[in-house]
Amino acid sequence: MKRAILALLLCVCMTASLILLLPSCGKQDEEKQTDPVKVTDETRPDEQGTREAETAPVITHWEAKIPDSVDLSGKTLTIMTYANANEVWYDVDFDIATYTGDEINDAAFNRLNYAEEKTKVDIVAVKGEGYGQESMKKEVVSGGSNHYDCGMVFARGACTLAEEDYLVDLNEYGSLELDQPWWDQDARNDLSVNHKSYMIAGDISIMYRKSLRVLYFNKEVMEEMTDVTSPYVLVDNGNWTIAKLSDIARAASKDLDGDGEYKPALDRFGILGTVDTFTTMMVGANVRSVVKDEDDLPVPSYYSAETVDIFDQICDLMYDKTAAVHANVEGIDVVTQFMNNQGLFASIELHNLVKLRQMTTNFGILPNPKADEFQDRYWSTINAHVAAMLVIPTTSMDEEKTSIVLDVLAAESKNVLTPAYYERFLQGKAARDEESQESLDIIFHNVAFDLGVIYNWGGIGVLTQNMSRQYNSNLTSEYEKIGDTFERELEKTIDSYLSR
């Protein structure tokens, strides 16, 4: 196979180079090697939603099963990937041609090479249009003209494709082992309807983890506030709440030019956020638009007195123009403002770590706050507009090949790709202290996939975002406007799944 041959040639060249450079190589060079790293369950973020993995038996290598009787020699697996939509949302998982020295690229290359050798199947990546939805739809309508066996589609688009019956139920497809830890079990449980799973996330791709929204904080600004409890301590004690965030943020704001006014471009604020901050903080406070009944069917659960109270707390902070900056309204760039030391907290996604590595001031990473100290877990959530889900179109007929190769890819990704992203990239290069690494553990262990937000029934997924643009805090009134449509569209989706 071309990738295997190229890898062999590169290994020969690299070995020769290492022999020549051996006398001058030290520990620093050893840390730059791109060989797969075997990681134990004790240090991994992949057992979603629980810390039980910390005491589980140590497993140093994951491997998918391939029946001895299976021979896939000479076949090709075609994966549709994201197009290069912009500088952030482009495929980094499958369209990999060679080693580049980048940790993520080289881990993905090793993973693909391993899977090809293990299954004897060529793996080909083909770029779709944008975030994949239209390309996958055209594939099914055309009867499989592009021969996509599977593909990556953004979460909200994947939901539309599933509802319109363009995707297969992964639970019934070939020999896919969805119960294995290389598939995200929170995604599997949260995204199913009527015990049918039309999309999945997991170690096979880093594209959904990049979209997780967290809180960064400026450690230099925090050190000025000597009478404030460290947010790291609050997180550890289970007391990191919206109320605590609000108190600290308000104390951090400062009229830098001394003119008596707080101006987004010139002064310092307690928190910098966007429209997505509102959705994320609601999920972080354990608000869900739906819950599942005993038949695995979603039931509306969004509106309640508790939900109104939580939204009021968020609005009290984010609408306070002396404490917060709403970037979408004010027209500022949160990352730039944060890097300029003009914000204590910044509510932005994990992919921004790439830019923040250039920041001279030290910063930390925190999970989203709880509603109160009695909430049992911290929660993070994906950005449904961009987070990539693995889907399989109804035109994908070679179930044996596709299911086996996907499991092999995902299992090997758990061995090499996730460690490269998590330990070498997020922890090694970007996270600047041990506490931030612990926060990342919490963030990755507790990912919520809110079906209502992702399907966006009746506009429930963008309700608070749209309200925030108008500084509107009347959730009761705004929910009344969409409530009936929300429930009607939800029932339509359920009927669609029940009819199959």
Q: What is the pLDDT of residue 434?
A: 83
Q: How far is CA 137 from CA 149, 388, 391, 392, 394, in A?
A: 13, 16, 12, 11, 10
Q: What is the pLDDT of residue 313?
A: 98
* Count of other CB atoms within 10 angstroms of residue 29: 12
- Greater pLDDT, 29 or 476: 476
Q: What is the pLDDT of residue 2?
A: 54
Mean pLDDT throughout 35-43? 37
Amino acid identity, position 275: V
Indicate where the chain has its CATH 3.40.190.10 domain(s).
52-209+384-430, 213-381+450-498
Looking at domain 213-381+450-498, its CATH architecture is 3-Layer(aba) Sandwich (3.40)
Q: What is the pLDDT of residue 58?
A: 65
- Greater pLDDT, 66 or 87: 66
**Whether 39 contacts 181, CB under 8 Å:** no
| Res. 12: pLDDT tops 70 | no
Q: What is the pLDDT of residue 436?
A: 86
Mean pLDDT throughout 18-46? 37
Beta strands in 293-445 (DSSP E): 298-300, 324-326, 343-349, 363-366, 380-381, 388-391
At 145, is the pLDDT very low, low, confident or very high (cuts 50, 70, 90)? confident
| Res. 19: pLDDT tops 50 | no
Q: H helices of 268-389, where? A: 275-284, 305-318, 327-330, 334-339, 353-356
- pLDDT tens digits for 423-470? 777 777 666 788 888 999 999 989 999 999 999 999 999 999 999 999
Q: What is the pLDDT of residue 17?
A: 43
| Res. 9: pLDDT tops 60 | no
Q: What is the pLDDT of residue 56?
A: 53
Q: What is the pLDDT of residue 16?
A: 41
- For residues 125 and 53, give the distance between their C-alpha atoms in angstroms, rounded to a whole number: 33
Backbone angles phi, psi at 350, to 5 degrees: -65, -30
For residue 487, give every residue at least 6 positions away whose Cβ sits within 8 Å of its Cβ, in sequence order, or none. 300, 457, 458
- pLDDT tens digits for 368-397? 999 999 999 999 999 999 999 999 999 999
Classify domain 52-209+384-430 at the CATH superfamily level.
Periplasmic binding protein-like II (3.40.190.10)
Q: What is the pLDDT of residue 439?
A: 92
| Res. 20: pLDDT tops 60 | no
- pLDDT tens digits for 237-273? 999 999 999 999 999 999 999 999 999 999 999 999 9
Q: What is the pLDDT of residue 27?
A: 33
At 422, is the pLDDT very low, low, confident or very high (cuts 50, 70, 90)? confident
Mean residue pLDDT of the chain comes to 89
- pLDDT tens digits for 275-321? 999 999 999 999 999 999 999 999 999 999 999 999 999 999 999 99
- Greater pLDDT, 357 or 415: 415
SS3 5: helix
At 4, is the pLDDT very low, low, confident or very high (cuts 50, 70, 90)? low
Q: What is the pLDDT of residue 357?
A: 87
Question: Over pLDDT 70: what percentage of the chain?
Answer: 87
